[in-house]
Structure 1
């Protein structure tokens, strides 16, 4: 798979340091190009990293997360434009079993048609680099910036596929930007993204 792993960090210097001790070593283990950009905002960091990608595919990786062994081989076996991994959530010392995320309230295994209702694709989704650029890259969203990107890709005609053998290891932080805000704020941003992307 012709792929680059892109790590974007922003703000406090501790995030750069965390990326250098966790995300980047995890990415380098695959022997593919790895780029890291630290900036003042998340979208600037991710777009800065995206600008350095010269491969057909890109996988974005958060500073505090990791890709488990076999990740890229599993992704390479897929056929869609967006290839969504399973996620193993890590809460401190408690490590969960991997599973495919679902849109909140959905009891079935999610598919492409679920994307207008919410996100089930994590930041580590493998995506065609040209597609990300064609839909405007990472937008400056207060929340759900990855969902905004995947929704725009889907609206542009991208195919979507779950790749359960690819496991993204997500370290959960209670005060993270997508978890800390109130439900009122989350709903406001949700509706704002839907309106901006789908009208």
Structure 2
């Protein structure tokens, strides 16, 4: 869909950054959501989540001086974690329509033109497939989410229905659901569940509009005792608000809980078989 076919909607890009991010990755992510886009944002809100090193601080200052797009930097005194950083960033955004971007990913040029067209049609949240990569020149597996509102609502009872780095949403729909709440590595899924329960309408595009950087340890982080604790808490919360049935709750504990405890190599194979398709590099 051509950018000139999109009903103009002003929108913000929300980009959180913390001490562990690479300055060069941050620069590439910023370029991909500004100068590379066929439909450029009206502002980029950079949330600096706590103190950062000198090199990253210099890069953030460079972004602030951008002549391409208005950039606002929100500096948080302490590292508060992703959920609280995003909530603070949402409050700082000027516009109701907000696009998420991670500091180490790359947005493809048609991303906002494609997604804003659906937001203009009345959807509250629009995501897309994402494509894993370690080297930008050799993209890998594609994670394809459920597409239609009905498929999203159905699948959300078992797995996160959106790829978090790919979403564009209406801030008011996020606020109506209570905003981001702290739940390590599960804050996005918990938000989507509450939004869907509140009646938010979602869509996913099958094209991988975001390249998702996968480094060493990416699948290791999907398991372990800490993530298992978050998984159990997520399932309790979804059951408490009536988002899942007792049967779905028991199934999720058995399947998703076990997934957090299996060896990394098996976890990688299982995830790819369920949620991704291989693409020749």
TM-score bucket of the superposed structures, by smaller chain: 0.7 to 0.9
Q: Which has the higher helix share?
A: 2
Unaligned runs of 5+ in 2: 1-8, 50-78, 241-281
Q: Which has the higher strand share?
A: 1
Distance 1:89 1:192 in 2: 28
Secondary structure in 1 matching 2:194: helix
Secondary structure in 2 matching 1:59: strand
Distance 1:132 1:16, change over 3 A: farther
CA contact (8 A) 2:145 2:204 kept: no
- Please give the residue correspondences for 1:146-157 in structure 2 after superposition, counting only pairs within 5 Å: 146-157=188-199
Larger RCO: 1 or 2 (CA < 8 Å, sep 6+): 1
CA contact (8 A) 2:128 2:144 kept: yes
Distance 2:88 2:30 in 1: 16
Distance 1:2 1:179, change over 3 A: farther
Query: Which whole-Å deviations, capped at 9, do the CAs of 1:58-100 have from their partners, x for residues lacking one?
Result: 1111110121011111112324212121111113353126452
Q: Which residue of 2 aligns with 1:191?
A: 232
Residue of structure 2 aligned with 1:163, choices 183, 188, 205: 205
Distance 1:181 1:44, change over 3 A: same
Q: Which residue of 1 aligns with 2:221?
A: 180
Larger radius of gyration: 2
Distance 2:100 2:116 in 1: 16
Distance 1:145 1:182 in 2: 16
Distance 1:53 1:96 in 2: 33
Distance 1:130 1:19, change over 3 A: farther
Say whether 1:67 aligns with 2:75.
no
Unaligned runs of 5+ in 1: 103-108
TM-score (ref. length: structure 1): 0.82
TM-score (ref. length: structure 2): 0.60
Name the count of aligned residue pairs: 190
Query: Which whole-Å deviations, capped at 9, do the CAs of 1:170-198 have from their partners, x for residues lacking one?
Result: 0012334x742535654442231132244
Distance 1:129 1:83 in 2: 12
CA contact (8 A) 2:131 2:140 kept: yes
User: Which contiguous aligned blocks of 4+ residues in structure 1 show a shift greater than 3 angstroms?
Assistant: 183-188
